[in-house]
């Protein structure tokens, strides 16, 4: 019933009846084969729900793989760059994984659900790579993308709204922690995770109860000004928070066709995710070599003068092109014009002054501005409420 | 503390050759061989009381003479029972075809066959010469080739160009096609077409109509380029070659431990540290060289979980399906082949009357079934070398194509019936032979795998086809004998240039290891 629709080739999520009712703009996009809203009512209002009250995002299309079996831990440790041994039960970890050339294939999160029981959330379809990686390991891999419905509930009042829905004690859940609640006789899993850089949670439940969950959430959240948001609002929030988007800020290694278009974790500023002390993981040999010989690119956050987002801009040093912008947005809360860029080393040290060559069009008239910009050290949005435990009351 | 510079896994011919060259370059090399005798597929075994046979490879037709000379194998005991043997394509009615070098005899040949063959052969030999050049050097890498690799490529390209416009065009035309079509273009005689086709499919999982078989044929012709006008037979069986290689290795200072099975190649943080034996003993060495096939090496010995996924994927995609069995018969007397002059009994006898016969034989194995009427490449070694059987009695050894690796229900259900169908098949050409049989042994692909540690029982340690040669052998990332595991090298037939008993892989690997480790 929920898996197909008559008027589109795209799949629909178990929340579709509720999502489509709320999607006043009828602005649909495709997310890995699922029809998902780009915006429900107004992108700015949706964005401000995330930052000021509570926003809800249907993230069911996120690829979800359940990994179980005696070798689940060793399997994941060989797969990803982080040390999975350090991820306790009931914890979630952000990580990337690489091919043998040390190029990032994808980023995602690992949920340590129980002993020998993990969920891997990924941007790209990973079945093929996971199965190749499973050779020699006693693991079971199940694609549970369609078997688990998921909602992101993000924003300062999210904890209050969810508590009002009946999730007692949620305020004590630490960032990247997991909790389970009974919901209509089924397990509702809640993780304190998200893609907005704000206080927020993700809810995971059987598709059968998806609509009930949505209804109960919006009912309980009404006093907290809960509002659904689409991918356009999420895009602003994640750029403000400094989060990379696979397929936008890097080309997943298995999808790249041209030589040299992929990036290593070091080139994406993700050094902190790479544990070279692990004796073996995919890409380790290549990353050791890169450490020795140097990287080609540096990922930088740029604070761009003016208020024109530096979409697709060249980054110049004097008259020389030294990089390109992968993501850009005017960030309303931080009141900054932020851009993510790949610049050629040795450029991109914090504080370096560069120039973004921005093209924009007004009424068929193209204009070019050369906007000075500088490399900043940290994302522009990183409020204490994101981490505070217990969650701050709003 | 380590008392070895190099631990070499497997004392087959390539392993011993590689070990000898390494020892001569001053390395302390220990060879670990699971079997009780050295040589691997170059082995002689008594399979019935008083009857011995070359229990895996039966002919020598590719061992590089330069290696024979450099390793002084003749000084170390290599003797020839016969050389430059003719190939006789048997005909049930006695109208056999005999091929030896450029000489063709047979009453069913047409004028066109007689006229075409010499020029066809000479052209194929020109191609084989080029192929031999490529086999003698390390293959260039797919990308990031260095100067030496580029020069090798240029040499190859030049060699191709030097063939001249016509030869080069013809090579490009035929290299990817199949023997069936090529034979149809050149010859009339089914016997001749089938005999040459068989050369293109020997040891492989292909029929005459399979692509790549022309390449297989050229590969076979390399033997002729090395001066083998026909197969040679080693005195005492192929095991004597194994012994000569071992003697040469020991003479160079190599320590050979027989009956020593390596259970695993040990790695730490992506680097090889040594090996663990089946008894639990560990040997530490900075360099480990494996002459085992790549699948056995990586899946069985290193372990997939100790490799990065990309490597695992490449290894698991290697095609190593074999279709070859060996039949050994102990005979109470000399078999009588219809119409065959007894003086020819020591030659290479072939049962492959028509190309379609081979193709039908191949059909069965595609479905994991035994060929009802298989092609056979027969040697009766006791004719040229009486030491192989009691006086007046004989040994028959045959390469049988095709037999599946895993027939439905398992080999034990099929062993007796397949053996008896092979005897029926022989009976057709040598009436009365069944009555002479006093002992018989069938080695299935699974048996060959178990005895010689060759994955799938494949002679070449992986199919020899254009997708698995040169910079693709055994897989990109492990070409040039090095592997993704630092300090681990390959020297077996699974590496460029492959081969049956050729020895080139072991020779090339040693050269590469010496060069690289000197640079390190």
Q: Tell me, what's the ipTM?
A: 0.89
Q: Are residues B245 and B281 in the same domain?
A: yes
Yes or no: say if B180 and B360 are a contact pair by the CB < 8 Å rule: no
Number of structural domains (chain B) is: 2
Task: Give the residue-averaged pLDDT of B312-318.
Answer: 95
Q: Are residues B205 and B119 in the same domain?
A: yes
Residue B346 within any structural domain of the chain = no
Q: Are residues B191 and B137 in the same domain?
A: yes
> Is the CB of residue B144 less than 8 Å away from at least one CB of chain A?
no
Task: Give the residue-averaged pLDDT of B407-429.
Answer: 96
What is the predicted pLDDT for the residue at B153? 81
What sections of B176-266 are H helices per DSSP? 179-186, 190-201, 213-225, 238-251
d(CA A322, CA A315): 6
d(CA A210, CA A231): 20
Q: Are residues B159 and B125 in the same domain?
A: yes
Local structure of residue B428 (DSSP, 8 states): H
Q: Are residues B198 and B305 in the same domain?
A: no
d(CA B368, CA B322): 11
> Is the CB of residue B312 less than 8 Å away from at least one CB of chain A?
yes
Residue B247 within any structural domain of the chain = yes
Considering only CB atoms, A137 lies closest to which of B268, B305, B310, namely B305
Q: What angle do CA A146, A147, A152 make, to 5 degrees?
A: 80
What is the predicted pLDDT for the residue at B145? 66
Residue B152 within any structural domain of the chain = yes
What is the predicted pLDDT for the residue at B10? 96
Closest CA to A383 of A372, A394, A368, A373: A394
Region of residue B237 (phi > 0: left; psi between -120 and 50: alpha; otherwise: beta): left
Yes or no: say if B109 and B189 are a contact pair by the CB < 8 Å rule: yes
Q: Which chain A residues touch B306 with a CB distance below 8 Å?
A: 280
Yes or no: say if B388 and B381 are a contact pair by the CB < 8 Å rule: yes
User: Mean pLDDT over all residues of chain B?
Assistant: 94
d(CA A61, CA A12): 9
Contact B308 A284 (CB under 8 A): yes
Kind of pairing, strands B324-331 and B348-351?
Answer: unpaired
Each residue's pLDDT tens digit, A249-265: 999 999 999 989 999 99
Q: Which chain A residues touch B268 with a CB distance below 8 Å?
A: 279
Helical (H) or strand (E) element with B166: helix B165-174
> Is the CB of residue B273 less than 8 Å away from at least one CB of chain A?
no
> Is the CB of residue B484 less than 8 Å away from at least one CB of chain A?
yes
- Cis, bond preceding B497 (omega within 30 deg of 0): yes
Q: Which chain B residues touch A279 with a CB distance below 8 Å?
A: 268-270
Closest Cα in chain A to B299:
A136
The token duo for A245 is 């988007």
Q: Which chain B residues touch A280 with a CB distance below 8 Å?
A: 269-270, 306, 308
Contact B269 A283 (CB under 8 A): no
Query: How many CA atoms lie within 13 Å of A14's alpha carbon, on the beta-carbon side?
Result: 21
Contact B308 A281 (CB under 8 A): yes
Q: Which chain B residues touch A100 with a CB distance below 8 Å?
A: 308-311, 477, 484
Backbone angles phi, psi at B505, to 5 degrees: -65, -45
Contact B303 A136 (CB under 8 A): yes
Distance from CA of A99 to the nearest CA of B (A): 7
Q: Which chain B residues touch A71 with a CB distance below 8 Å?
A: 305
Distance from CA of B15 to the nearest CA of A (A): 27
Residue B15 within any structural domain of the chain = yes
Q: CA of B40: how far to CAs of A76, A208, B22, B33, B400, in Å? A: 39, 62, 19, 8, 20
Q: What angle do CA A85, A90, A94 make, to 5 degrees?
A: 60
Query: How many CA atoms lie within 13 Å of B288's alpha carbon, on the beta-carbon side?
Result: 29
Closest CA to A161 of A228, A230, A227, A217: A217
Local structure of residue B482 (DSSP, 8 states): B
What is the predicted pLDDT for the residue at A369? 95
Yes or no: say if B449 and B455 are a contact pair by the CB < 8 Å rule: yes
d(CA B63, CA A121): 55
Closest Cα in chain B to A285:
B270
Q: Are residues B195 and B130 in the same domain?
A: yes
**Residue B280 CB partners (closer than 8 Å, separation 6+):** none
Where is the domain boundary, B177, B193, B225? B225
- A141: three-class secondary structure by DSSP: strand
Chain A residue set in contact with B, beta carbons under 8 Å: 71, 74, 78-79, 99-101, 129, 132-133, 135-137, 279-285
What is the predicted pLDDT for the residue at B1? 42
Q: Are residues B173 and B149 in the same domain?
A: yes
Q: Are residues B108 and B197 in the same domain?
A: yes
- The alpha carbon dihedral of A329, A334, A337, A339 has a sign of negative
Each residue's pLDDT tens digit, B191-217: 999 999 999 999 999 999 999 999 999
Local structure of residue B296 (DSSP, 8 states): I
Where is the domain boundary, B158, B191, B225? B225
Q: Are residues B114 and B215 in the same domain?
A: yes
Q: Which chain B residues touch A260 with a CB distance below 8 Å?
A: none
Which of A129, A136, A279 is most worth mutating to test chain B (most B CB atoms within 10 A of its CB)? A136
Closest CA to A106 of A129, A124, A81: A124
Considering only CB atoms, B269 lies closest to which of A129, A132, A279, namely A279
Yes or no: say if B331 and B394 are a contact pair by the CB < 8 Å rule: yes
Residue B136 within any structural domain of the chain = yes
E-strand spans in B462-513? 488-490
Residue B176 within any structural domain of the chain = yes
Low-confidence ranges of chain A (pLDDT < 70): 1-8
Which of B298, B310, B488 is most worth mutating to test chain A (most A CB atoms within 10 A of its CB)? B310
Yes or no: say if A248 and A240 are a contact pair by the CB < 8 Å rule: no
Considering only CB atoms, A282 lies closest to which of B268, B308, B486, namely B308
Is the pLDDT at B327 greater than 80? The verdict is yes
What's domain A64-143's superfamily in CATH? Aminomethyltransferase beta-barrel domains (3.30.70.1400)
Q: Are residues B296 and B218 in the same domain?
A: no
Each residue's pLDDT tens digit, B256-265: 999 999 999 9
- B232: three-class secondary structure by DSSP: strand
Closest CA to B312 of B324, B323, B322, B302: B302
Cβ contacts below 8 Å, chain A against chain B, sum to 50
| CATH 3.30.1360.120 residue ranges for chain A | 16-62+146-229
> Is the CB of residue B310 less than 8 Å away from at least one CB of chain A?
yes
**Residue A17 CB partners (closer than 8 Å, separation 6+):** A211
Q: CA of B211: how far to CAs of B194, B201, B476, in Å? A: 16, 10, 22
Residue B415 within any structural domain of the chain = no
Q: Are residues B206 and B280 in the same domain?
A: no
- B positions 397-426 inside 8 Å of A (CB): none
Distance from CA of B33 to the nearest CA of A (A): 25
Contact B309 A79 (CB under 8 A): yes
Fold of A16-62+146-229: Gyrase A; domain 2 (3.30.1360)
Considering only CB atoms, A78 lies closest to which of B269, B305, B477, namely B305
Contact A132 B313 (CB under 8 A): yes
Backbone angles phi, psi at A41, to 5 degrees: -135, -55
Closest Cα in chain A to B314:
A132
What sections of chain A are H helices per DSSP? 16-22, 43-52, 72-79, 127-134, 158-165, 210-221, 231-241, 284-293
Closest Cα in chain A to B268:
A279
Sheet containing strand A117-122, edge to edge, reads A92-98, A104-114, A117-122, A63-68, A140-143
Contact B308 A100 (CB under 8 A): yes
Residue B194 within any structural domain of the chain = yes
Each residue's pLDDT tens digit, B5-35: 999 999 999 999 999 999 999 999 999 999 9
Closest CA to A40 of A198, A234, A311, A210: A234
Distance from CA of B475 to the nearest CA of A (A): 14
- Cα pseudo-dihedral B210, B212, B218, B223, rounded to 10: -90
Q: CA of B268: how far to CAs of A100, B272, B307, in Å? A: 17, 6, 11
What's domain A296-376's superfamily in CATH? Aminomethyltransferase beta-barrel domains (2.40.30.110)
Structural domain boundaries enclosing B209 = 100-225
Distance from CA of B405 to the nearest CA of A (A): 22
**Residue A123 CB partners (closer than 8 Å, separation 6+):** A32, A62, A63, A106, A107, A108, A245, A246, A247, A252
Yes or no: say if A73 and A82 are a contact pair by the CB < 8 Å rule: no
CATH of the domain at B262: 3.50.50.60
Q: Which chain A residues touch B477 with a CB distance below 8 Å?
A: 100
Q: How far apart are the first and last CA of chain A?
A: 38
- B positions 365-404 inside 8 Å of A (CB): none
């Amino acid at each position: 019933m929920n898996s197909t629709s008559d008027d589109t080739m795209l799949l629909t999520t178990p929340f579709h009846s509720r999502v489509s009712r709320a999607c006043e703009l009828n602005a649909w996009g495709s997310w890995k084969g699922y029809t998902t809203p780009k915006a429900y009512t107004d992108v700015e209002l949706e964005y401000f729900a995330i930052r000021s009250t509570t926003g809800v995002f249907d993230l069911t299309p996120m690829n979800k793989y359940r990994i179980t079996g005696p070798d689940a831990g060793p399997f994941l440790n060989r797969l990803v760059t982080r040390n999975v041994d350090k991820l306790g039960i009931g914890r979630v970890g952000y990580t990337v994984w690489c091919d043998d050339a040390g190029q990032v294939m994808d980023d995602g999160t690992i949920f340590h659900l129980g002993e020998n029981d993990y969920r891997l959330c990924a941007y790209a379809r990973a079945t093929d790579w996971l199965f190749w990686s499973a050779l020699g390991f006693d693991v079971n891999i199940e694609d549970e993308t369609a078997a688990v419905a998921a909602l992101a509930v993000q924003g300062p009042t999210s904890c209050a709204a969810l508590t009002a829905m009946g999730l007692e004690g949620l305020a004590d859940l630490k960032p990247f922690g997991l909790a389970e609640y009974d919901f209509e006789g089924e397990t509702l899993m809640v993780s304190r995770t998200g893609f907005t850089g704000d206080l927020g949670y993700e809810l995971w439940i059987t598709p059968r109860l998806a609509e009930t969950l949505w209804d109960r959430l919006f009912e309980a959240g009404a006093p907290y000004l809960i509002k659904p948001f689409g991918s356009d609002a999420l895009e602003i929030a994640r750029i403000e928070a400094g989060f990379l988007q696979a397929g936008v800020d890097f080309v997943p290694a298995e999808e790249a066709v041209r030589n040299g278009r992929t990036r290593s974790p070091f080139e994406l500023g993700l050094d902190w995710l790479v544990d070279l002390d692990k004796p073996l993981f995919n890409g380790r040999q290549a990353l050791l070599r890169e450490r020795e010989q140097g990287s080609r690119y540096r990922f930088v956050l740029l604070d761009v003068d003016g208020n024109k987002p530096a979409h697709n801009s060249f980054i110049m040093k004097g008259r020389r092109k030294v990089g390109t912008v992968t993501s850009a947005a005017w960030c309303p809360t931080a009141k900054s014009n932020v851009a993510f860029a790949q610049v050629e080393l040795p450029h991109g040290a914090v504080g370096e002054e560069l120039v973004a060559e921005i093209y924009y069009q007004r009424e068929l008239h193209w204009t070019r501005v050369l906007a000075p910009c500088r490399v900043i050290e940290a994302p522009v949005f990183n409020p204490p409420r994101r981490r505070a435990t217990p969650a701050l009351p709003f | 503390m380590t008392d070895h510079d190099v631990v070499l896994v497997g004392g087959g011919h390539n392993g011993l050759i590689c070990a000898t060259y390494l020892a001569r370059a001053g390395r302390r090399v220990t060879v670990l061989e699971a079997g009780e005798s050295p040589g691997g597929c170059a082995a002689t075994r008594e399979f019935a009381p008083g009857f011995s046979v070359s229990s895996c490879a039966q002919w020598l037709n590719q061992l590089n003479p330069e290696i024979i000379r450099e390793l002084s194998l003749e000084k170390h005991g290599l003797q020839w029972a016969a050389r430059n043997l003719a190939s006789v394509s048997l005909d049930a009615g006695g109208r056999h075809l005999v091929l030896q070098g450029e000489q063709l005899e047979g009453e069913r040949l047409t004028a066109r066959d007689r006229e075409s063959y010499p020029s066809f052969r000479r052209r194929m030999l020109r191609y084989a010469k080029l192929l031999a050049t490529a086999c003698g050097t390390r293959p260039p890498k797919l990308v990031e080739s260095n100067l030496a690799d580029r020069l090798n490529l240029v040499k190859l390209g030049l060699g191709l160009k030097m063939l001249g416009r016509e030869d080069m065009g013809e090579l490009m035309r035929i290299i990817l096609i199949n023997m069936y079509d090529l034979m149809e273009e050149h010859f009339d005689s089914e016997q001749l077409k089938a005999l040459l086709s068989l050369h293109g499919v020997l040891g492989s999982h292909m029929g005459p109509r399979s692509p790549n078989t022309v390449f297989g044929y050229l590969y076979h012709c390399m033997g002729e380029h090395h001066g083998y006008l026909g197969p040679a037979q080693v005195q005492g069986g192929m095991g004597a070659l194994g012994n000569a290689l071992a003697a040469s290795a020991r003479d160079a200072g190599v320590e050979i431990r027989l009956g020593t099975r390596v259970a695993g190649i040990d790695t730490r943080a992506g680097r090889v540290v040594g090996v663990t034996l089946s008894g639990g003993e560990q040997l530490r060495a900075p360099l480990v060289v494996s002459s085992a096939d790549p699948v056995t090496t990586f899946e069985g010995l290193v372990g997939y979980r100790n490799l990065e996924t990309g490597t695992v994927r490449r290894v698991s995609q290697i095609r190593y399906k074999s279709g070859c069995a060996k039949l050994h018969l102990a005979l109470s007397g000399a078999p009588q082949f219809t119409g065959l002059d007894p003086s020819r009994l020591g030659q290479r006898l072939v049962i492959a009357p028509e190309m379609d016969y081979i193709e039908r034989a191949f059909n069965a194995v595609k479905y994991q079934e035994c060929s009802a009427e298989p092609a056979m490449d027969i040697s009766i070694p006791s004719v040229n070398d009486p030491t192989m059987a009691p006086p007046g009695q004989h040994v028959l050894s045959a390469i049988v194509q095709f037999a599946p690796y895993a027939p439905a229900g398992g080999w034990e259900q099929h062993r007796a019936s397949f053996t008896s169908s092979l005897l029926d098949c022989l009976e057709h050409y040598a009436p009365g032979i069944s009555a002479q049989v006093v002992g018989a042994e069938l080695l299935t692909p699974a048996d060959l795998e178990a005895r010689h540690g060759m994955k799938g029982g494949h002679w070449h340690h992986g199919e020899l086809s254009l997708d698995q040669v040169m910079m693709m052998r055994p897989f990109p990332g492990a070409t040039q004998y090095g592997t993704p595991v630092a300090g681990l090298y390959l020297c077996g037939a699974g590496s460029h240039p492959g081969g049956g008993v050729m020895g080139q892989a072991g020779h090339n690997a040693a050269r590469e290891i010496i060069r690289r480790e000197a640079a390190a």
